[in-house]
Amino acid sequence: MTRVDLISPIDGSVYLSRDILDRDAAFAAADRARKAQPDWAARPLEERIALVLKARDIVGQTTDRMALELAWQMGRPVRYGGEFGGFDERLSHMAEIAPGCLAPDVIEDSDAFRRIIKREAHGVVLVVAPWNYPYMTAINTVAPALIAGNTVILKHATQTLQVGERLAEAFHEAGVPAEVFQNVVIDHDTTSALIAGRKVDFVNFTGSVGGGQAMERAAAGTFLPVSTELGGKDPGYVRADADLDAAVETLMDGAVFNAGQCCCGVERIYVAEPLFDAFVEKATAWAEAQVLGNPLDAETTLGPMANIRFAREVRAQVAEALADGAVAHVKTKPADDGEGAYVTPQVLTCVSHDMRVMRDETFGPVVGIMPVQGDDEAIRLMNDSRFGLTASIWTRDVQAAEALGARLETGTVFMNRCDYLDPALCWTGCKETGRGQGLSTLAYQALTRPKSYHLRRS
C-alpha cells in the first residue's frame, strides 16, 4: 500500500505518515456513504442539526491541541490559538438558518391544488479541502451538507491530513454514523475516478486553478455539480479620505497573516497619491515589527510557509520583480535563510502589472503597492486580474464604496475591512477564482436540489 508523508514546515521532519486508499477501497467508502444516505436524510432535521452542533462542541474542547497540531502541520503560530472561533461562527450560523432555508416553499394550498417546492439532498457530497485554513474551509461545506441530509466524504490536503481525522473523530463521537461522515486519504487519480464514475453526487473543491480544472475535467459529461473556490489576487484600494492608520493595520494583516496563505489575502494595494508615501512608510514599519520564527514560540507572530515549494514560488516572484525594477522595503529577517520555509514579509513598490508578483497568485507574505490618481484608475487596476474573490475599499463614504463595488469584478466587496468570511453572506467568486455558493442561505440551495409537487385535489 502506498503511503504519504506530511512534512512539517517547522523543521522539515516527517510529522506523520498515512496509507493511501486504493481505488477499490475508495469506491467501497462511497458505496457505504450512498447506502447510508437515505436513512440519514430521513432523520428529523432537528436531530441532524443537534448532532452537528454536538460535534462543534467536541471540537471546541480541543483548541489547545488544535493550535499545536496546526503549527506542526502548516506553520501557523500557536499564539493565534487555532481556528475554533471561525469554525464555531460558521457552523453555528449554518445550523441556525437551516430550518428556514430547507423549509418547503408553499406556492398554493387550496381546495383545488397543493403546489410546493421542496429541497432534497443531492446524496453523497465530496469535499476536497485545503490546508491553509483546514478546519474553517472544510466546515463551510461539511456542516450544511450534513444538516441538509447528505452524506459526506472528506478528502483533506496532504499538508493537513490530521485535521480530517480530528473532524471525523468529533462527528463520530457526537453520534454521526461512521458511514455518514467519512475521512479518506486518496490520491488525485482516485479522486478523479470517484467523480468520473459518479460515485458521488456533488463536489466541493477549494484549491488551485489547476486542481479545479482537474475536477471539472473529471466531471465532464456526468452532469455532477462542481463547486470551486480557486486562486485569488485580491486588491485593496485606499481612497484619499481613508483612515490611514486603520487601512495600514488591517490591509497589512490581511496581506501577511498566516504567512500570506489566505484565500482572500490581500496581494495588491492601490493607494491614492496624496497618501502613498505615508502608507508605504507605515506598511514597512508594520512588516518590520513582525517576529518571524518557530510557530511553537509564544512571541512568534509569523511562522513558516506550509511547504518549502510554496516559499520558492514567493521568492521567485519577488526576485523577478526586483530584477525588473521593483523596490523591496523590508530587510531580510534572521530566520529567513533564503532557502527554507521561513520567508520575510515584504513590501514592494515601483511595481507594475507586467510583473508576476502583481498578476499571479503569490500566496505568501508579500504585497505590491502602487499609487493611483483616483477611483477610475483604481477600478481599472483592481479589475486587471484573471481572478475575482474579494476586493476592499478604504473610505469614509459608504455610498461611494457601494457605487465603486458595482464596478468591481469580484465575489465580495469589503469596505474598511478585508480577509474575512461573513457566514451570513454568500462566499463566491468569478473569473478564474471559480464558481460556487458557500455559506449563507445560498449554500443550502447549492447543496440540495429542488423538487416540485403539483398535487390536484379530487
> Active-site residues: which are they?
229, 263
34 membership: H or E segment, kind and range: helix 23-42
Spatial contact of 84 and 58, defined as CB atoms under 8 Å apart: no
Spatial contact of 283 and 347, defined as CB atoms under 8 Å apart: yes
116 membership: H or E segment, kind and range: strand 113-121
DSSP single-letter state for residue 292: B
Burial code (b: 16+ CB inside 10 Å, e: under 16) for 236-273 equals bbbbeebeeeebbebbbbbbbbbbbbbbbbbbbbbbbe
Q: Which of 287, 215, 301, 275 is nearest to 249 (CA)?
A: 287
Q: Which of 381, 362, 387 is nearest to 269 (CA)?
A: 381
Separate counts of helices (H) and strands (E) for the chain: 14, 19
Alpha helices (H) in 106-264, listed in sequence order:
134-147, 161-174, 188-196, 209-219, 244-256
92 membership: H or E segment, kind and range: helix 84-102
Instruction: Give CA–CA dist 78/207, Å, rounded.
Output: 24
Side-chain half-sphere CA neighbours of 338 within 13 A: 3
Q: Which residue is it, cell 514579509?
A: 345
